[in-house]
Amino acid sequence: MAIKLIGNKSYGNAGDGIRIQVSGDVEVTLEDNVTHDNGGQGLHIIENLTPLYEAGINASTPFEEIQKAHEELLKSKPTSDQQIIKILEEIGFSKWIQHGANIATIGSLILQIFSK
């Protein structure tokens, strides 16, 4: 699959200017794009979130909630599963997790996926 973004202008967004979520073998081509004054990153390419869904995060979870969880985990630098669970519960992320899913596993996956 190929994704081509040519001649786009993205500015003044509260989040990322351009966010691409990909899964599998994808070729991304960017030409003559301009991003500025966005609240997040100018260009943000996110690889496969499927492992999160398979681990038990609800598919309806807003991306911003996943991103918030990632930021909190990075900031707190947890060293144990219990710390991961505490952080995610404190920010209310557990409401996005299916009953019976392993919260610590989901937190670890969030760190892995977004740290690539």
What is the full per-residue pLDDT of the chain (116 aa) written as tens digits? 788 888 888 888 888 888 777 766 677 788 888 888 888 878 777 767 888 999 999 988 888 899 899 999 999 999 999 999 999 999 999 999 999 999 999 999 999 887 75
Q: Are residues 22 and 60 in the same domain?
A: no
Q: Domain check: are 27 and 83 in the same one?
A: no
Shared domain check, 15 and 66: no
Q: Do both 56 and 73 map to the same domain?
A: yes
Report the alpha-carbon distance of residue 72 to residue 110 in Å, rounded.
Answer: 11
The confidence score (pLDDT) of residue 86 equals 95
**Cβ count within 10 A of residue 54:** 10
Same domain? For 40 and 54 the reply is no
Same domain, residue pair 22 and 56: no
Residue 78: domain span: 49-116
Length of the chain: 116
- Domains in the chain: how many in total? 2
Indicate whether 109 and 57 sit together in one domain. Answer: yes
* Domain co-membership, 4 together with 57: no
Structure tokens at 1: 């699959």
Best CA proximity match to 54, nearest among 115, 93, 91, 105:
105
